[in-house]
Structure 1
Amino acid sequence: MEKKLTESIEDYIETIYLESQKHGKGVRITDVALELKVSKASANDAVRKLKELGYVEHERYGQIYLTETGKSRAVKVYEKHRLITEFLVKALDVSLANAEQDACGIEHIISDETFEKMKAYLEQ
């Protein structure tokens, strides 16, 4: 079973993943900090923690790259975010802006059972 990560750390993994997808390469601390609206120092601390956990590779002042483990975890977090957003919009008619915002919080606390039921509902 995967280690439970904090919401904050999951947000960093997801952001690094999305930014690397957008640019097709590594990500800079500055990009992560801007995207998450945090200081560079906070982003640096989080990336250091992610490196210790084996989710990213990062040399001082260099770009951040997800490891295979990090990418796998990021894809799962992003899938949750995307599917919860879709569920809120399609099943409950929530506006996209609110669904995106709500999904950001829900993705961290939703049980596997509830998530799988949402996923099954959307596949009908």
Structure 2
Amino acid sequence: MRYSLLLNYSEAGGAELSAEALAEAQAAFDDYAKSLDSAGVLVAADVLQSVTATTTVALRNGALQVQDGPFADTKEQLGGIFLIDVPDLDAALAWAEKCPAAQWGTVEIRPTAVYFSGGQWNRT
């Protein structure tokens, strides 16, 4: 079963995060991604740019609305995604517990309902 581990946490600015702390976090995520990959459960991983790079698109009454910035103003933002393929929710929980983001934010585990692969839609 495919699960998305959605990493939500406050974005730290350059002044708030020392170079040493940033390097430690990057090393922790590198180790985590490599452990997922070594276990054969990693489908994909993406670290998102800052919400300041966000553009939101909506189509309302036939008119395209493009807005700079995120849809919602929140204290935490979606910072990255790990897409994993594991047997069940218990396995997804075990991997989420090991995620570095769980130490300073939250990891939302969301099962995939349908995914596109091999030129077709697939149900999990």
Same fold flag (TM > 0.5)? no
Which structure is larger by alpha-carbon Rg, 1 or 2?
A: 2
TM-score scaled by length of structure 2:
0.30
TM-score scaled by length of structure 1:
0.30
* Structure with greater strand share of residues: 2
Using CA pairs below 8 Å that are at least 6 residues apart, which structure has the higher relative contact order? Answer: 2
* Structure with greater helix share of residues: 1
